[in-house]
Structure 1
Amino acid sequence: MRLLGATLIAAFALAGCATVPSASKAPNASFSPNCERIGSFLDSAVSQGRTVGASAFVWKDGQEACFENAGYASREDGRPFTRDTLVQIFSMTKPVTGVALMQLWEQGRFGLDDPLSWYLPEYEGLKVATGLDDSGNLVLRDPSRPPTVRDMLRHTAGFTYGGSDAPADTVWARLQPLSPDNTLAEFSQKMAQVPLLSDPGTRWNYSAGVDVQARLVEVLSGMAFADYVDTNIFTPLGMDDSGWKRSEADLGRLARIYVVGTSGDLEPMPREEWLEPNFAGKPMTMGGSGIVTTVDDYMRFARMLLNEGELGGVRVLEPATVRLMATDVLDPRITAENRSWLPSKGTGGFGIDFFVRTAPPQAPEENRGTVGEFFWDGYPSMLFWVDPAQDMAVVFATQKVPFDNPLHHDIRDAVYGADYSGIAPN
């Protein structure tokens, strides 16, 4: 099995403005994260076998508030999980891609409500797959309207990620758009041959749309996607330890990915699976996955978002653009039953490559967080969030699959406290 094989592509899917909060809940007083509680949680998660190693980095009120770590980056080598450990972040790549494309939007290169096919002509004439006929052939119809760039940004274009029993995914399975052997240009040509799951704008469906975003960056900028991100995001932000393609020299710092085995124990994922394509020289540079980074580097990205597009005197995005990305832009007509698993992330909606919290947690079982926060996570149980109301950003790093939402629930409890209402004081 390859990292970008159909099984894991489907697994990515299982893997961030505010509305007025409920008057029935009182605001929380300003708080300082309890570092001892965070460290104790990480220790217990390791000792209980919930993960092999992890770290948590909290930035609050303009300074480092906590860094805690526990366990191993490689249990077999006795190598600890430290702040210098390299991690594969999978879908936490997506917000980076969104920032890259929105830089080009600020330059007037496209309009959010422009048809996607104006810039990527291969997406002209897309069809919706409604089923299979008696001979096993796809039944297709015209969509109610073409997908727009905005649809692609918010997972409402009707695109798929493959791996389901939807009729459209029979074409995905045959073409394998996200094969690591494809370039982004080849990916896009194949992706455009996969029928839509639904009419654009009618459903939220997690998809390879962020990889289409990456191809659009290439077309609009005239640069290879990885080169564009390095030049316009990583280098300006001082993220010197971040990128897609890595060398064998990095293996001594790279955390292993651990998989829950049939016995429930965590077993190391075989090297030939967990190193593709980052270390194998494959041509694919996904917009939706693939970045290798450290907690310190990714926190620089999170701090830039917390500062509304600026860090250390370098402006990456305008404040209004960050606010737009962190605003719930899902049409209310896209009701909960048409939002796939998105409601499991909390009470909220979706902006541009972010989940956005729009109301306080409704029950103890819901992950703690503040109204107005925005975040995303990654398949090996990675997580980051930005909490503007508390002037805080958090990066939680671990390398465990399958995706473990209870682990995220508990790290948020450790950061906020289990009784946090989700409403910060004015």
Structure 2
Amino acid sequence: MHRIRLRPCLSALLLACAAFAASAAPAPFDGRAGVARVDKARIDAALSGLVESGRIVGVSALVWQDGREAYHGAFGLADREAGRPMARDTLVQVFSMTKPVTGVALMQLHEQGRFGLDDPVARYLPEFAAVKVHGGTDAQGQPLLLDPQRPITIRDLLRHTAGMAGGDAPEPVGGYYRAADPDNLDNTLEEAVRRMASVPLLYQPGEQWFYSPAVDVQARLVEVLSGMPFERYLQRHVFGPLKMKDTRYTLRPQDRPRIAAMYRRSDDGVLTRVPDEQAYALIGRQRALTPGSWGLVSSLDDYMRFARMLLGGGELDGVRLLQPSTVRLMATDALPGNIGPGERSWLPSKGQVGFGIDFAVRIAPPADAEEASGEIGEFFWDGAANTLFWVDPANQLAAVLFTQWLPFGKVPLHKDFRDAVYADDSSAAAPRP
């Protein structure tokens, strides 16, 4: 993680793959999506086993089901060098779990009639009127920049079909993005998005699913449509109403004793602490950039309040942020039929999923025992430091999992946690009423 460019550096970290240590044998696959009978001992064993084996430093998890807390557990250390345990109030960087928060903010404005999903982005952000599409090279080897076949719509931003790409994209588009430097922390969101609009698209709009900085453009739309800085909007219309007192972009002095250290896992499985000046570069000082794609710090209970609001169809404790129909829309696969498995980048690695509005959406049961358990209709997302959350309406369940290591994946934490939550073992827990 670098002070100026997050995405290219994260990409390099993600490419530094960790050794994939053997995990406990998965439960026999029975072809079903999953039956959530939350059993504390089973989940405890899954999470503590990963800590005790040395594959992760610390982890905490919270599960809410049927209107009550069904599970909480914390294992290992938030700060190994200081001997500080992982705790319920530990703060972590959620990275891309910022994206669903941005989606909720923008969809609040959609409910108010401020925009239509199929409106051209350029209607509200004129800098996108001149966007070009990279079309390969000409006979002299020079880049071809083409006009888009149709405008980028707001719906494209929401489902990652805008054709946008970040600094880790194939060349030369990735190089164009890095040269534009939109992720510089001294950029305002307005300036960052203006620079993004100068980068050619990697694909024609609507042609492929490609994970991108499009959610930063969503955040800028919130500013333009609301007339309010994005961070202030979140505080006033999301964090404040939900009483999310620990969620923000910048650490306060009193937060320092609670923030989890960041670790980097080497190819041979050694976990090394990332120096604090690097680990906290994005959150350690007040800066101009408040992106929609990344940057928030949160606590387990805070993020669960956000998840519970979604589980409640947009409402929590009598406070409504969204209408149930809007949450259903966000949690419905929005990818058009012309975007097949081969045009979805790495999204299929998440399982039998499509994509809604800033969430992956499960559309079919797990294909085999190698895929993590889940329920059709659940929607979820994760973060670069291996955090995870999901909402499962069929089982009236929400789950949040916190840890802090890079690169993403390799240790089967998400699968082991999901399998423990969904294990269909009638002897382990009484049937749900």
TM-score class, shorter: over 0.9
What residue ranges of structure 2 are gaps of 5+ in the alignment?
A: 18-29
> Are 2:156 and 1:155 aligned?
no
Root-mean-square deviation over aligned CA pairs: 2.2
Structure 1 equivalent of residue 183 of structure 2? 178
Structure 2 equivalent of residue 395 of structure 1? 400
d(CA) in 2 for partners of 1:269 and 1:230? 30
Shift of 1:135: 6.3
Shift of 1:165: 2.7
Q: Deviations over 1:116-163 (max 9, x none)?
A: 000000000211112245766421111110110000100000000222
User: Within 5 Å, which residues of 2 pair with 1:300-379?
Assistant: 300-379=305-384
Give the AA of the match of 1:58.
V
> Are 2:104 and 1:99 aligned?
yes
d(CA) in 2 for partners of 1:265 and 1:345? 25
Deviating more after overlay: 194-203 vs 272-281:
272-281
Asked if the contact 1:105/1:111 (under 8 Å) is kept, the reply is: yes
Deviating more after overlay: 271-280 vs 368-377:
271-280
**Sequence identity percentage:** 52
Asked if the contact 1:9/1:161 (under 8 Å) is kept, the reply is: no
d(CA) in 2 for partners of 1:290 and 1:141? 33
Shift of 1:11: 6.0
d(CA) in 1 for partners of 2:32 and 2:272? 44
SS in 2 for 1:293: strand
Asked if the contact 1:12/1:378 (under 8 Å) is kept, the reply is: no
d(CA) in 1 for partners of 2:120 and 2:286? 34
Size of the aligned set, in residue pairs, is: 414
Give the AA of the match of 2:160.
H
Decide whether aligned partners of structure 1 residues 32 and 198 sit closer, same or farther in structure 2, where only a CA change above 3 A counts: same
Structure 1 equivalent of residue 11 of structure 2? 10
SS in 2 for 1:124: helix
User: Within 5 Å, which residues of 2 pair with 1:23-422?
Assistant: 25=31, 31-133=36-138, 137-404=142-409, 406-417=412-423
Asked if the contact 1:131/1:167 (under 8 Å) is kept, the reply is: no
Decide whether aligned partners of structure 1 residues 184 and 419 sit closer, same or farther in structure 2, where only a CA change above 3 A counts: farther
d(CA) in 1 for partners of 2:240 and 2:296? 14
Give the AA of the match of 2:422.
Y
TM-score (norm: length of structure 2): 0.91
Deviating more after overlay: 125-134 vs 78-87:
125-134
Asked if the contact 1:360/1:370 (under 8 Å) is kept, the reply is: yes
d(CA) in 2 for partners of 1:25 and 1:7? 39
d(CA) in 2 for partners of 1:373 and 1:419? 21
Asked if the contact 2:32/2:366 (under 8 Å) is kept, the reply is: no
Give the AA of the match of 2:56.
T
Give the AA of the match of 1:257.
M
Q: Deviations over 1:3-27 (max 9, x none)?
A: 5434335369989xxxxxxxx9568
Asked if the contact 2:37/2:424 (under 8 Å) is kept, the reply is: no
Asked if the contact 1:239/1:298 (under 8 Å) is kept, the reply is: yes
Asked if the contact 1:9/1:162 (under 8 Å) is kept, the reply is: no
TM-score (norm: length of structure 1): 0.93
Give the AA of the match of 2:297.
V
Structure 2 equivalent of residue 21 of structure 1? none
Asked if the contact 1:172/1:194 (under 8 Å) is kept, the reply is: yes
Decide whether aligned partners of structure 1 residues 202 and 32 sit closer, same or farther in structure 2, where only a CA change above 3 A counts: same
SS in 2 for 1:277: coil
Shift of 1:185: 0.6
Shift of 1:251: 1.2
